[in-house]
Amino acid sequence: MLTRRILGALVGATALSLALSVPALAEPIVIKFSHVVAPDTPKGKGATKFEELAEKYTNGAVDVEVYPNSQLYKDKEELEALQLGAVQMLAPSLAKFGPLGVQDFEVFDLPYIFKDYDALHTVTQGDVGKMLLSKLEAKGITGLAFWDNGFKIMSANSPLMTPDDFLGLKMRIQSSKVLEAEMNALGAVPQVMAFSEVYQALQTGVVDGTENPPSNMFTQKMNEVQKHATISNHGYLGYAVIVNKQFWDGLPADVRTGLEKAMAESTDYANGIAKEENEAALQAMKDAGKTEFHELTAEERAAWEEVLTPVHDEMAGRIGAETIAAVKAATAE
């Protein structure tokens, strides 16, 4: 009995001393990934996929925390937070890089610059895309990838069939001078506003309308507060996934390799679902029956193009004529 008790005490003591001598496991490196859209969108799903793969390929050395829906920061704040190191990863819309001083990204906002996803990919998956991402380095940011969303719908509470239908309408835009020029060309009054505020602004009439791909329009319930929408596909909205450069460069090499693999795979995933997600969102909004969806006739589309394409020349000074030429050369068939 006594021996058993001593034995028990000895086993306990050994376990304790073992526990004390084993060094505490290193805390995982936390990557806060902040974004402004719903989890159930191409970007939201891409971020979730990255979280899963990053943790897997680094064997848990990294803990990715995804904060969707502007939970942590709104549009402009999140870029400041990244530069300050309060978050490590973002995927802002390409229309939101102007305030960082990288105006070339507004090339993606030019009306009708991409005919379809294939044309877009010649840029985002090619040399021009690499050149654009490299411009971020000087701002303390490393660009990792481009993620697709989709082509935009114009919406309001009145039908938008001809440029004249926009006269005097207050239209919410992202913080891009190209989008401002686009709305001015249509005779509308552009209003820059954070994404998280759009639904309420539409509901209360602070703005009359907006533009967004179907997935954003649907997941923010904008269709519940817009009576009309035109499937105009007049412009594109997509993302660059970016990290704080100092953070990224300071990672152990093997961790960074794991994260690069996770990013490559989640990029393929996000870009593989974007088109379908947008088609499904459009269908869901049609089924919901709150918004009347309009298609343009060839003649109406030509009238939009006539008014909107001069924005390319108007904005060449801001974006950089060389950048616009590089995108046009890459997409030329």
Contact positions vs ligand LMR (CB under 6 A): 36-37, 75, 93, 149, 174, 195, 212, 216, 237
Q: Is 144 helix (H, G, I), strand (E, B) or coil?
A: strand
Q: Tell me how far, at minimum, the Cβ of 71 lies from ligand LMR, in Å.
A: 13
Which residues fall within 8 angstroms of residue 240, CB to CB, at 6 or more apart?
A: 91, 92, 94, 97, 105, 132, 133, 136, 143, 145, 146, 147
What CA–CA distance (Å, rounded) separates 49 from 270? 8
Q: Which is nearer to ligand LMR, 88 or 176 (CB)?
A: 176
Q: Tell me how far, at minimum, the Cβ of 147 lies from ligand LMR, in Å.
A: 10
What CA–CA distance (Å, rounded) separates 318 from 309? 16
Q: Which is nearer to ligand LMR, 34 or 323 (CB)?
A: 34
Q: Which helix (H) or strand (E) holds 60?
A: none
**Number of Cβ atoms within 10 Å of the Cβ of 44:** 22
Q: Which is nearer to ligand LMR, 63 or 197 (CB)?
A: 197
Q: Which helix (H) or strand (E) holds 141?
A: strand 141-151
Q: Tell me how far, at minimum, the Cβ of 196 lies from ligand LMR, in Å.
A: 9
What CA–CA distance (Å, rounded) separates 129 from 136? 12
Q: Tell me how far, at minimum, the Cβ of 78 lies from ligand LMR, in Å.
A: 10
Q: Tell me the two tokens of residue 262.
A: 């996770």
Q: Tell me how far, at minimum, the Cβ of 322 lies from ligand LMR, in Å.
A: 25
Q: Tell me how far, at minimum, the Cβ of 74 lies from ligand LMR, in Å.
A: 9
Residue nearest to ligand LMR (CB): 93
What CA–CA distance (Å, rounded) separates 24 from 28? 12
Q: Which is nearer to ligand LMR, 58 or 220 (CB)?
A: 220
Q: Tell me how far, at minimum, the Cβ of 20 lies from ligand LMR, in Å.
A: 49
Q: Which is nearer to ligand LMR, 122 or 212 (CB)?
A: 212
Tokens 């703005």 locate to: 207
Instruction: Show the beta-strand stretches assigned E in the chain.
Output: 29-34, 62-67, 89-90, 141-151, 153-156, 170-173, 189-192, 209-212, 228-230, 236-244, 292-294
Q: Which of 69, 75, 235 is nearest to 150 (CA)?
A: 235
Q: Which is nearer to ligand LMR, 44 or 258 (CB)?
A: 44
Q: Which is nearer to ligand LMR, 75 or 104 (CB)?
A: 75
